[in-house]
Structure formats: structure tokens, C-alpha cells
Amino acid sequence: MKATYHKHILEFKRPSGTSRGVLKKKETWFIHLVDGERQGIGECGILRSLSIDDVPEYEEKLRWTCEHIHLGKDVLLKELRTFPSIQFGVEQAFLSLQSEKPFLLHPSKFTEGKEAIDINGLIWMGDAAFMKSQIKEKLEAGFSCIKMKIGAIDFETELQLLKSIRKEYAATDIELRVDANGAFLPSKALEKLQRLSEFELHSIEQPIKQGQMEEMAKLCEVTPLPIALDEELIGVFDLKAKKKIIETIQPQYIILKPSLVGGYAGSSEWISIAEKQNINWWITSALESNVGLNAIAQWTCTLQNKLPQGLGTGSLYTNNFESPLTIQKGALHYDKVKSWNVPIIKNKTA
């Protein structure tokens, strides 16, 4: 078996704003396995400035992984413990290699085109006019759940945007989620949550920065608005440490990005811990290309979680790979009529 790695720069169709800055490009990496006639591919979806494995030796670790592919998946996953995005790439690549087709990782009603995954429509940060135009676009496209990034522009302006949505759409018509990406100060967070709760929001992601466990626990205890942990889960590898976070903070939800928390195995561990505490969860992509998004979506479908998932990122780029993944009326579909076109994989109908 031979393994190689490849870099790809994804270009955003339009600059996308977050509380950590404006994104114009997204770097991603692929592990490609060849064993006789069989091929496998996995995406290592690193997010610079957010991924715990955003370190200078990242490419060196990818090279090491390919050179030691003979060790097998289980040994590699242990060795790559502090490189969750590469762990996920390895998981995908081995599963892809063993599958009937390179991109058919988890056969289900989803991959048969008989079942779709409800997803949220993502609203990026920007000025009020830009955000309002995105909201209108998502509503017209049939989304019943919208996720809005907040924390970068004036808070009062953000409240007005939410107010304008609620004037037209009741909570029973449109589910609203907001994502603060840790933008609120602990001393101001509760007041802001109280004001946000007036708009009957479903939840808020990561209101304060991760690593402030006691402050987050206090906030989750008294919040008028359900809190979902996101960044809080990044960089936590030890099972006991994971349990401590969930048991101490007692959030209303957790959000899992496989590329950031150790792939399928790392995500499953968090899910198991959360469910024992009666804490619900959903899955979100981390701006991967369609290769990684496909791997996440197929796995997510097998979990049978009925909440809208965060899997609507495939249409963000001008140079994404052609795939059967399509979005229709607020849901992610697998269109079997469409084929894959990923240059690394020679069989383009895979």
C-alpha cells in the first residue's frame, strides 16, 4: 500500500466574516491511499487559528503518516492523538480504501438518495445590509433553521436583525441559532443572553471563550437561552478531561466538528459522554471540501439525530470538487445521478 498527501486551497465565493476575522481562502490536505486497484481518500480539514493541530510541523506530520501507513489505522490514530484533523483524514482514507467505491463510506438511505439531512442555513458576519440579504436568501431557499454568526459587529445591530426576522417569522416557523464564537466577556454574557432570549432563539454557541470552565458552568446554570459548547471541546484528548468538562459545565447542547475533535472516534466519545448526562448534540462541518463534508454527512445520517445539522458549507467555494451533494429546501441530499470529480482519484465516477 502506498500513501501520499496533497494540499488544496479552497477559494471562497465571497469573503466570509467570523469573530476571528474574514475568510477568503481555506487550506486543506488530502491523504490518498493506493493498494493494487483500490484507492482511498481522506481529507485533513485543518482550520488555521482554531485547530489544535495548527502547528509549524503539520505538513511534517502528514509526511510521517504517509511514510508509516503500514502501521495500520489503529496504531496511527494513537500516534496522531494531538493531530485530530489528520486522525480524521486517516479514518476516512482507510474506510474509503475498504469500501465498494472511494466515496461510499457509510451506505444508507442517504447515499441511496432516499433520505435527506435537515441542515441550518449559515449567515456570515458582515454589515447589516449584507447579513439581511443572506437571511432573505436562506429563507427563500426553504431553510426552516438559520444559524447567524454574531459578535463581530455592533450588538444592537445584531439584535435589530434578529428582531426583523421575528417580525416576519415566528419561532414555530423559523428556528434561529446564533454563534458567538466566544465573543462575549464573562461579565457581560448573561445580560446579552437575556436580551437575545427575547427572540425565542433555539440556542447560542460558545458565548464566552473556551477554557473558562467555572464561568461557563455558572452561565449554563442560569442562562435564559440554551447554550451549546463548540470550541470548548477542541484540544481535549483525555477521556477523564472530557467527562469533567461535560459534568462540570452541564451545557444544554454540544456541537461536534469531527476535523477538530478527532474524527469519528473522537466525536463518538463526546456523544457517549453527553448522552449519559441527557445532553443533546449535533454535527457540524469545519469548512471542509466536498470530500470531507461527504464523509461527515454519510456518518451523521447513520446516527439518526433529528436536529438540523451544520452541514451546509459545500457551496461556499468556487473550486470545490464536483460531487452528488446538493442542497434543496433546507436539506442536504445525495443525488446519485451526479458523479464525483476529484483529480487525485482516477475513477471519477466513484
Enzyme catalytic residues: 149, 257
In terms of Cβ atoms closer than 10 Å to its own Cβ (0-12, 13-18, 19+), residue 166 is: middle
Output the nine-digit C-alpha cell for 176.
434561529
Q: What is the dihedral of CA 137, 208, 225, 259, to 10 degrees?
A: 60
Of 56, 10, 55, 91, whose CA–CA distance to 342 is shortest? 10
Dihedral of alpha carbons 130, 136, 138, 144, sign: positive
Output the nine-digit C-alpha cell for 60.
511534517
- Cβ proximity of 245 and 217 under 8 Å: no
Of 105, 63, 97, 100, whose CA–CA distance to 80 is shortest? 63
Q: Collect contacts of 62-68 with beta carbons under 8 A, ≥24 apart.
A: 62/5, 62/29, 62/31, 62/86, 63/5, 65/3, 65/5, 65/31, 65/90, 66/3, 66/4, 66/5, 66/31, 67/3
- Cβ proximity of 42 and 91 under 8 Å: yes
**Crossing angle of helices 213-222 and 186-196, rounded to 10°:** 30
Element (H, E) at 21: strand 21-35
